[in-house]
Amino acid sequence: MNKPKLTVFASGSKTGGGSGFENLVKASRNGILDAEIRVVSSRENTGVKKIADELGVPFTYSAGPWTKETYQELAKGSDFVALSGWLKLVTGLDPRTTFNIHPGPLPRFGGERMYGHYVHEAVIEAFNRGEITHSAVTMHFVTEKFDEGPVFFRKAIEIIPGDTADSLSARVNTVEHLYQPIVTDAVLKGKIWWDGKNPDSLHSIYI
């Protein structure tokens, strides 16, 4: 039986990045995630390409433009698309089979420019104001608005007094790496789904 084809979109950074993508690939080789993986990056020489080369994963670089036609061409042949550290708005892909992982509680700490360290900084500021006690790792289906698709996985992470954005980020990243492959596998196996239009149609074994 053929494995589901999963395209991972991972931006990476000038100095590295791609740890989520790397984690998914390794999980696909140790029995946690049943998928055939390839990766797309918006940067030509980053940690994402280095990881792809080291692990023998097909790598595609694209400078855009990030139109629906570009996304459709890059995702052609895929059964599913996973965003993992992807910083651009996605359009033109099937919202039933496109999903993202986010390093904070949604919907409050989502939206344009709310990614990576910006999320952790905003969460710590809210904690210091006494507004929240926990951060979270969330996973959601992708619509054409940043972080507004239905959330199908949420794992709360307690904020410890004295936490900084850096210390919180490290703990969130550990939880991301633990759960992302497991939950991704559940999506690929049809244990998590929605109709792509009505959030009330969401079925998840986690929510």
The DSSP 8-state label assigned to residue 113 in this structure reads T
Residue-level pLDDT at 13: 74
Residue-wise pLDDT for 52-70, tens only, equals: 999 999 999 999 999 999 9
Residue 129 neighbours by CB distance under 10 Å: 8
Task: Tell me the pLDDT band of 207, cut-offs 50, 70 and 90.
Answer: confident
Cα–Cα distance between 168 and 5 in angstroms, integer? Answer: 33
Say if residue 189 is exposed, middle or buried (CB neighbours under 10 Å; 0-12, 13-18, 19+): exposed
Please state the pTM of the whole predicted model. 0.96
Is pLDDT of 136 > 90?
yes
Is pLDDT of 12 > 90?
no
Is pLDDT of 193 > 80?
yes
SS3 60: strand
β-strand partners of 146: none
Cα–Cα distance between 43 and 65 in angstroms, integer? Answer: 13
| Amino acid symbol at 166 | D
Cα–Cα distance between 108 and 119 in angstroms, integer? Answer: 10
Cα–Cα distance between 99 and 155 in angstroms, integer? Answer: 16
Residue-level pLDDT at 46: 82
Residue-level pLDDT at 16: 74
Cα–Cα distance between 34 and 187 in angstroms, integer? Answer: 11
Cα–Cα distance between 112 and 27 in angstroms, integer? Answer: 30
Task: Tell me the pLDDT band of 45, cut-offs 50, 70 and 90.
Answer: confident
Class of domain 5-112+136-155+176-199 (CATH, top level): alpha beta
Q: Where are the domains of the chain?
A: 5-112+136-155+176-199
Task: Tell me the pLDDT band of 17, cut-offs 50, 70 and 90.
Answer: confident
**What is the distance, to the nearest Å, from the Cα of residue 172 to the centroid of all Cα atoms in its chain?**
13
Contact 122, 104 (CB under 8 A): yes
Residue-level pLDDT at 47: 87
Contact 37, 57 (CB under 8 A): yes
